[in-house]
A = this chain, B = another copy of it.
């Protein structure tokens, strides 16, 4: 993409309405714009990151679940059947259509998926079943704030598992547990699983996945030894091992403020390992057995011919929220520092002198090379000062920045600067091409 044609309305000053780093930086870097309280439009740069995150989630979820897509608007009827119609209070946006029929904008999908299951699955042969979708949800927060971190319309990945009996359901839960560790790891985040309350979803087993960030919404008490746990490579067919790895992960003490108990913390964690930090919730697992399958009649015929209500769990990830969460973890005083796995562009090209024939020729050549290699690149080809270009490229956080100016060209030198640590490498053109050709191999 060439910057001169790109819809990237960056802002120099900090917007006064933004109270946290991620909100400030998402506005300043032209990723989002608010259209109504807690409701945002995603501009090209922001949408690229959102889609990268969505892509990582999809690749991992496809290993253990099947993707479907439920609508945003639901019938209130099924919520009355499950008994949850009033559980979300005013956070649930409900309204009537032209025929006076009551509808709502889904804040979550337990009812609808259970309804789909009950109308389409009749036999044990179809189980286990795990279905997920990535769809916009709406929760009418009383005070939307912090940008996409606590918006009203937000993108969520939610999966739903259906099993016969609790043991199988817990195995599905555990698969999702490990799948989540991998997802957050691939996004570049260290996520801690934390025992959690179940709230209006219900059930008796639940974990939140929390990432540590200085301005996180809640306090997290944890055994810091958990930070040394490696992210396991998982064979989802090896059930025994799956349960074993989850047991290992859940053996560490972790609690957010609402579940924290000082006595337990002190008893189960050695003093040198007791850590307290702030965290952001990015995922949530629930096991709730037959809470929805009974009222919504999700039953199957077992191998033995018996009629059995299925045991279920649900599993959410805040996709749009993750964009903000990553920024809250990866930023400095210049702007965002994207991990490469979700960077909107892997490479930036900064032309220090746009009207210099030689500079332009070299920039265009490198731009073509990167494009042909399938390496995403943003080339700042505007007639602007070097200072403006450098500041913007840092603000929007492009990980690998190629800088080209007349002085370097005359010496046959091209600079590559890493956003992460500011380190610089110097290359001749042919060395640079060699480096780029092997870039994907090295990563």
- Give chain B residues whose Cβ lies under 8 Å from the Cβ of A72: 72, 136, 153
- Give chain B residues whose Cβ lies under 8 Å from the Cβ of A44: 66-68
- Give chain B residues whose Cβ lies under 8 Å from the Cβ of A136: 71-72, 136
Does A116 count as interface, using CB distance less than 8 angstroms? yes
Binds B, one of A91-99, A289-297, A347-355, A406-414: A91-99
- Give chain B residues whose Cβ lies under 8 Å from the Cβ of A95: 93, 95
Shortest beta-carbon distance, A131 to chain B, in Å? Answer: 6
Does A115 count as interface, using CB distance less than 8 angstroms? yes
From the candidates B74, B91, B121, B131, name the one contacting A35 in the complex (CB within 8 A): B74
From the candidates B75, B101, B140, B153, name the one contacting A71 in the complex (CB within 8 A): B153
From the candidates B9, B36, B47, B75, name the one contacting A73 in the complex (CB within 8 A): B36
Does A417 count as interface, using CB distance less than 8 angstroms? no
Shortest beta-carbon distance, A319 to chain B, in Å? Answer: 12
Contact A35 B68 (CB under 8 A): no
Known: A35-B74, A103-B36. A121 touches B9 (CB 8 A): yes
- Give chain B residues whose Cβ lies under 8 Å from the Cβ of A103: 36
- Give chain B residues whose Cβ lies under 8 Å from the Cβ of A40: 71
Contact B75 A35 (CB under 8 A): yes
A18-44 CB contacts (< 8 Å) to partner B: 30, 33, 35-37, 39-44
A91-124 CB contacts (< 8 Å) to partner B: 91, 93, 95, 97-98, 101, 103, 105, 112, 115-116, 119-121
Residue on B with the closest CB to A154? B71
Does A142 count as interface, using CB distance less than 8 angstroms? yes
Q: Quick one: CB contact mask for A182-202 with B, threshold 8 Å, 1 for yes?
A: 000000000000000000000
Residue on B with the closest CB to A155? B69
Does A126 count as interface, using CB distance less than 8 angstroms? yes
Residue on B with the closest CB to A153? B71
From the candidates B35, B126, B153, name the one contacting A115 in the complex (CB within 8 A): B35
Contact B69 A42 (CB under 8 A): yes
Contact B70 A35 (CB under 8 A): yes
Contact A33 B69 (CB under 8 A): no
Does A7 count as interface, using CB distance less than 8 angstroms? yes
Q: Quick one: CB contact mask for A84-96 with B, threshold 8 Å, 1 for yes?
A: 0000001101010
Contact B71 A47 (CB under 8 A): no
Known: A7-B120, A40-B71, A41-B70. 7 other contacts (CB 8 A): A36-B103, A42-B70, A43-B68, A47-B67, A73-B138, A93-B97, A105-B105
Can you list 22 pairs linking A and B with CB atoms under 8 Å apart?
A4-B125, A7-B66, A7-B120, A7-B126, A33-B116, A35-B70, A35-B74, A35-B112, A36-B71, A41-B70, A41-B116, A42-B69, A44-B66, A47-B68, A50-B69, A72-B72, A72-B153, A73-B152, A93-B97, A97-B140, A97-B152, A136-B136
User: Residues of A with Cβ closer than 8 Å to B?
Assistant: 4, 6-7, 9, 30, 33, 35-37, 39-44, 47, 50, 66-75, 90-91, 93, 95, 97-98, 101, 103, 105, 112, 115-116, 119-121, 125-126, 129, 131, 136, 138, 140, 142, 152-153
